[in-house]
Amino acid sequence: MTAQTGQRPSPASAPARERLRRGSSLPYLLIAPAVLALAAVLGYALVRNVAISFQEFGRRELISRTTRWAGPDNYLRVLEDQRFWSATARTFAFMAVNVVLIMVLGTLIGLLLGRVRKAVRLVLSLALVAAWAMPVVATVTVFRWLFDTQFGVANWAMRTVGLSGYDQHNWFGSGLSTLTVVTVLVVWASVPFVALNLYAALTTVGPEIYEAARVDGASAVRIFVSVVGPMMKPFFLITTFLEVIWVFKAFVQVYAMNGGGPNRESETLPVMAYIEGMGQNQYGTAAAISVLTLLILLVAMSFWFRLILRQEKEGQP
Amino acid sequence: MSTTDRADGTGLPDPGRTPPAPPPAVSAGPAAARPGAWGRRTARRAGPRRRPLWPEALALLLAAVFVFPVYWMFATSFKSNSQVLTRDPVLWFTPTFEHYATATGVELFWVYVRNSVTVTLGAVLLALLVALAASFALARLDFRGRRGMVLVVMAAQMAPWEILIIVMYLNARDLRMLNSLLTLTVVYFVMALPFTVWMLRGFIAAVPRELEESAMIDGCGRGGAFFRVIFPLLAPGLMATSLFGFIMAWNEYAMVLVLNKAPQAATLPLWLTRFQTNFGNDWGATMAASSMFTVPVLLVFLILQRRVTGGMAAGAVKG
Amino acid sequence: MRKLTAALAAAALAAVATACGTGNGGGGTGALTVWLMDGSAPQEWLDELNAAFEEEHGVRVDVEIQQWDGIQDRVTTALSEDGTVDVLEIGNTQTVGYAGTGGLAGLSGLEDEPWNEPMLASARLDGTLYAVPWYGANRVVVYDRAIWREAGAEVPATRKEWLRALETIEENTDAEPLYLPGRSYYVMGGFVADEGGGFAVEEDGRWKGALNTPEGEAGMAFYARLHSFSDAPADNDEASPQQSTEIVPNRPVASWIGLGWEAAAAIEAIGERGQEADFGYFPVPGPTADRPGHVFLGGSNLAVSERAGDRELAEAWVRTATSARWHQRFVDAYDGGVVPARTDVTARPAEGSFAEAMVASADAGYLPPLTGGWSYVETEPNPVKDLMTRVLNGADYRTAAAEADTEITARINRD
């Protein structure tokens, strides 16, 4: 990597993208494999998913390979279901809390990485990498277990510290408590991505800026807000975008932790769609939920799409 | 990790090591009474280094917090069954390898390993190849529909794969492509593709155009310029990107559960869950299996990470 | 685990012989694929049966042992594929549901065997036989003789005596009188059945949840009374943590309610800790001494896929496996610890064994509503379990039961 700063190319440098002579087929040839693969596998699946959302599709239809059209029934049923709306609200709250925690903690740890001596930085980085690399399947098992009512290390630690009420404290006793444990897991697993990348990104910016700001007498917070922040804007923009999507879609972490329970109080949209689909074999209803989820997500993310596309435009000569 | 990569040719400066550059025009706030954290460190550089200890202590504490679940997984895998579930955790024990024997003793274990490796590598390589072409076009060429394609790549990352399982199943069934490693490879490849395109595009954008152009002036064709100039510079980016595809494909469980029901077409994530049954959970074996399952990812990570984060950041900052 | 490994070994050998990775679709490969659930068939019995069958019919039998995790998805999808599976084991509460999808072949040729009538009910839909019973099993109370002796408690014959015994243990020992997790819904269903109620009732061809009734309330009240003797949390079921291997061996438990394989697993786990289990067994007591309490008559059926490669061959395997000769050997392999599916086969349990207590209470067995939709009620999140947790945590029974009934009604009428 020879590029070192996040500045836009100066007018003297070459244009960012080459305008080919009119009608050149090169770009289309280059993107064709990706477009075809996405269309054939993902696009076709999405189209068929939409088709199923307008069908009465249960295990009878699956096994006997029949089609029963149902019109908008599935959508009406889902939209009338109070559970869908509470799951939507829950999903957004869960997403917001997680993304904020991930970004804040990730940023702080990333900055911390830049401050500590080499050996300590190596230790912390390795720990972060280990957390990042641990497979979700294994992570959920261990967390479920660290927070076990009877044998959990969490309760043991609480007792050891001397807190009362943790003799057989049930961490999965309410939806909020369950989602809190899930949040700990998701944040734990996602912070390394942000922290390590932020640290690496900071090193590409170079220390001159800090020096300069320091000479001007700016405080650490001030330096971060007015110097590092703006410089890292593309980084934060994209990372937050990815985290929002990832947390919104988080399924295994929520479902494997407590199956959306107790009493369906930790049910997020992906979990609800899965329970309706794979659990209750109401594939039509599940498809409707997934289509609605996707629409909601698209609307919620349109802000980001605009921001990132605008950047796209700025990149043009 | 990143501390060592200063010397690896990435050319990334280490903050606090490089001499200060002339101050650019930064609007300074009101002069603070005390220098800030970032400033304090450099201020002390001239004299003997006596930094405050709390950041180091905090970093070590955080390291312990982050590594604990991983440690617990490995530790449990070496405990005997009676030490696994106890009211007060057993911290000192004589390690046993019986759980590893149980975990690897599962029939077809090596078939699962082979399948997992085949599918994961196949999907990652396919994704890199296809994404490389697409991301080059997106980063370097201007054409009608470019922004549309960027939008598609962004939106494709929202694909709700868990929900699409049944549709993927129906498609594979109707095409008579169940129990096939090829199907699985293609599905994982497409799952990894949007993110791979996204990342590679950033990396390619970060390679200065001048390099490519001078190569073209020197008589290379566009293809030659790409392969002689851009490609070598992309190596870290390709590695960084492949890691994400690797983790995704290596971990995938829900899809293979219904797509590949034949035992000889199963992959390791299915093996991972088989020690938790209705007849009791063999926690030791589960953790041994999880540990073995994690090690390859850790290794790949440790081999690649130096390049991963450096390159990744460059890509992201360049957006 | 040993049994599982052996079974997998058999499956693996079979699998290696077939072509790799291209699927076994289409049937007609000359092999018969049989799906049995993990832990169902004694390995020796299965090997000998298949050897005999292969010799007689000249085809190979591939047994694929299925894990319970994710089984619903696998069975549903497998039944929609040609030739993936020929014969499969299906839980008795699930059979009618699959029969209703058209995925199971009718087995009219097996109508005339001397089946155990109550078990047959779970295999029939609209007069057609879609499966045959394979075995049944029900829960009994397992107790630690030493603790009961120490406490001076006596084996009860009625609910009243049962509660008295538990009180005696609580007063005289440090042991947990009864380990009863909050969500053991089939145990609770037995208490509701004792009162004459059930999970749901049929009215004019439509089912509706029936827990918001005096019978439901009384059944749950007795469950809650028993649960008060337990240290078990209100939101665990008997499988998580696994009561037999993760609870009983690790702390002094005077008694618990379990199945035969659970008692065996607990004995083994206690042995691993260098101790010896001293278990006694008695049927779950009923309100009166003349008959034990209702227990869920669990079990499995054997069915043939409508899309099987060779349906006649598949039916032949089922016929052989459940024939009087092979079924007697099956029952004997379990030391009489299963309820036989045929009237011409008898279980001969040893005195004082689990099997003896089980057979004594099998007549008071009950089944949940045999409808296509019942399997959806059982699927997590299970509304009956949620109701139990809520009530044990102090919620008003009537309110919670009304909500559970709504959910049961919505699910039980699904195809």
pLDDT in tens, A58-86: 999 999 999 999 999 999 999 999 999 99
Query: What is the maximal distance between C-alpha atoms in chain A?
Result: 76
Check CB contact under 8 Å for B280 and C242.
yes
Tell me if B309 sits within 8 A of A200, measured CB to CB: yes
Query: Which residues 164-223 of chain B have a CB within 8 Å of chain A?
Result: 164-168, 170-171, 186-187, 189-190, 193-194, 197, 205-210, 213
Higher pLDDT, C3 or A136: A136
Q: Which two tokens stand for residue B109?
A: 């274990």
Q: What is the CATH number of the domain that holds A210?
A: 1.10.3720.10
B53-106 per-position pLDDT tens digit = 888 999 999 999 999 999 999 998 999 877 877 777 777 788 899 999 999 998
| Class at the top of the CATH hierarchy for domain C140-295+367-412 | alpha beta
Taking CA–CA distances from A251, the nearest residue in chain B reads B162
CA distance B100 to chain A (A): 15
Token pair recorded at residue A9: 């190319």
Number of domains in chain A: 1
Question: Per the domain annotation, does A111 fall within a domain?
Answer: yes
Instruction: Tell me if chain B has a CB within 8 Å of the CB of C268.
Output: no
* SS3 of residue A261 by DSSP: coil
Amino acid at site B309: T
pTM: 0.84
* Cα four-point dihedral sign B128, B129, B132, B133: negative
pLDDT given for residue B123 in this prediction: 97
- What is the DSSP annotation of C246-298? IIGGGS-BSEEEE-HHHHHHHHHHHHHTT----EEEEPPPBSSTTSPPPEE-E
CA distance B278 to chain C (A): 6
In 3D space, the residue among C358, C317, C319 whose CA is nearest the CA of residue C337 turns out to be: C358
Of A19, A216, A294, nearest to B160 by CB-CB distance is A294
If one counts every other C-beta atom within 10 angstroms of the C-beta of residue C379, the result is 16
Partners of residue B141 on adjacent β-strands: A18
Contact B35 A217 (CB under 8 A): yes
- Tokens matching residue A53: 């959302």
d(C-alpha C182, C-alpha A31), whole Å = 57
For testing the chain B interface, which of C24, C37, C76, C272 should be mutated: the one with the most B CBs within 10 Å? C24
What single letter denotes the amino acid at residue A146?
Answer: L
Residue with tokens 């040993």: C2
Please give the average per-residue pLDDT across A229-234, as a whole number: 80
User: Can you say how many angstroms the Cα of residue A37 is from the centroid of all Cα atoms in its chain?
Assistant: 24
C203 has a chain A CB within 8 A of its CB: no
Residue A251 has pLDDT above 50, yes or no: yes
Kindly tell me the sign of the dihedral angle through the C-alpha atoms of C110, C111, C115, C120: positive
pLDDT of residue B228: 77
Q: Which of B38, B65, B152, B230 to mutate to test binding with chain A, by most A CBs within 10 Å of its CB?
A: B38
CA C16 to chain centre: 32
Q: Is residue A34 part of a domain?
A: no
Beta bridge partners of C256: C142, C179
Distance from CA of B229 to the nearest CA of A (A): 12
Amino acid symbol at C278: D
Task: Please report residues of C whose CB lies closer than 8 A to that of A262.
Answer: 235, 386, 389
B52-61, B210-219, C257-266, C401-410: lowest mean pLDDT where?
B210-219
Query: Strand B141-142 relative to strand A18-19: parallel, antiparallel, unpaired?
Result: parallel
Distance separating alpha carbons of residues C298 and B182, to the nearest angstrom: 40
Identical fold at C2-137+297-351 and C140-295+367-412? yes
Name residue C257's beta-bridge partners: C141
A263/C80 touch (CB, cutoff 8 Å), yes or no: no
Is residue A297 situated within a structural domain?
Answer: yes
Q: Which residues 176-215 of C are in CB contact (within 8 Å) with B?
A: none
| C23 contacts chain B (CB < 8 A) | yes
Comparing CB atoms, the residue among C9, C24, C67 nearest residue B107 is C9
Are the CB atoms for C209 and C198 separated by under 8 Å? no
pLDDT at A114 over 80: yes
Q: Is the ipTM of this complex over 0.90?
A: no
Asked if pLDDT for residue C6 goes beyond 90, the answer is: no
Q: Is residue A23 part of a domain?
A: no
Query: d(Cα B249, Cα B124) in Å, to the nearest integer?
Result: 8
Quick check: is A20 in a domain? Answer: no
| pLDDT beyond 60 at B38 | no
pLDDT score of C330: 95
* A18, A294, A312 ranked by CB distance to B140: nearest: A18
Residue-number span of the structural domain to which A248 is assigned: 42-315
Which chains sit next to B, with 3 or more Cβ pairs under 8 A? A, C
Cα–Cα distance, B98 to B116 (Å, whole number): 24
CB neighbour list of residue C358: distance below 8 Å, 6 or more residues apart: C137, C138, C140, C260, C281, C283, C337, C339, C349
For C365, the 3-state DSSP assignment is strand
From the candidates C2, C3, C22, which should be mutated to test the interface with B, based on the most B CB atoms within 10 A? C22
Does the domain spanning C2-137+297-351 belong to CATH 3.40.50.720? no
Return the amino acid letter for C264. A
Give burial (CB, 10 Å; 0-12/13-18/19+) of B155: middle
Q: Rounded distance, CA A156 to CA A202, Å?
A: 39
Residue ranges per domain, chain C?
A: 2-137+297-351, 140-295+367-412
Q: List the structure tokens of B118.
A: 């085949």
Q: Residue B296 and residue A19: Cα distance in Å, rounded? A: 44
| Cβ–Cβ < 8 Å for A54, A76 | no
> Neighbours of C (≥3 Cβ pairs closer than 8 A)?
A, B
Q: Are C367 and C296 in contact (CB under 8 A)?
A: yes
pLDDT tops 80 at residue A14: no
**Average pLDDT over chain C, rounded to an integer:** 89
Q: How far is CA C276 from CA A114, B81, B94, B279, C144, in A?
A: 59, 17, 24, 21, 11
A140 touching C (Cβ < 8 Å): no
Q: In this predicted structure, which of A136-140, B23-27, C164-168, C400-404 has the lowest mean pLDDT?
A: B23-27
Q: What is the amino acid identity at position B32?
A: A
